[in-house]
Amino acid sequence: MECYSVMQCVGNKIQQRIEVRIFGTAMGKILNCLNPPLQKCATNDFVNFYCCFHKYISKNFELSNANPVHCLLPLNLNTELSFRHFQTIVKEFNLDFVNEDSLYEEFSSAKSVLNVVKTGRIEQSWVNIFSDLRNKQIDVPNLIKILGFVLSIPGSNTHTERIFSLMSNK
């Protein structure tokens, strides 16, 4: 879940650096020591580097709202959750095993506990939320199904690639 927001943040920061032509303090000092034609050439090289980097990120990780992962952002607990957030996730990922009528009832019952401040890692925050709900005897099986599904989506295929690499080396 955090991957999308991290990549979006990186993409935005790179785009901002391209627009304002800021390359960091150390690079600024080096650029100031260069003669104007060389300074212009180095600046253009850095802008081209940032443009290529931004293009690479955009190509390999869709940073638009069209990315299905975008609807998972509210589960980062950085904004107040609404029933519509969960409804969008159910629709976007075709979670047919979730009963939306029951989900609405669960959300209404759990709303005060769900909209808490995030503490530490997202997974730990959700564990704390579900623990509070259990202590208050609020049953939320559909919310648990949604979070179980979402948290089981791997952030990358690194583990699988590593296994295939090990298998091909034998």
Question: Exposure of 114 by Cβ count < 10 A (0-12 exposed, 13-18 middle, 19+ buried)?
Answer: buried
Q: How far apart (Å, rounded) are the C-alpha atoms in residues 55 and 42?
A: 20
CB 47 within 8 A of CB 21: yes
Phi, psi torsion values for 166, nearest 5 degrees: -65, -40
pLDDT over 70 percentage in the chain: 89
Q: How far apart (Å, rounded) are the C-alpha atoms in residues 129 and 113?
A: 6
What is the model's pLDDT at position 170?
Answer: 60
CB 80 within 8 A of CB 48: no
Give the DSSP letter of residue 77: S
Q: Kindly report the length of the chain.
A: 170
Entry pTM: 0.63
How many of the other CB atoms lie within 10 Å of CB of 60?
A: 8
Mean pLDDT computed over every residue of the chain: 85
Instruction: Look at residue 114 and tell me whether its pLDDT is greater than 60.
Output: yes
Q: How far apart (Å, rounded) are the C-alpha atoms in residues 22 and 39?
A: 13
The per-residue pLDDT for range 18-47, each reduced to its tens digit, is 898 888 888 888 888 999 999 999 999 989
The per-residue pLDDT for range 118-162, each reduced to its tens digit, is 777 888 888 889 999 999 999 999 999 999 888 887 666 676 677
Place of tokens 């808490």: 116
What is the model's pLDDT at position 117?
Answer: 66
Instruction: Look at residue 2 and tell me whether its pLDDT is greater than 70.
Output: no
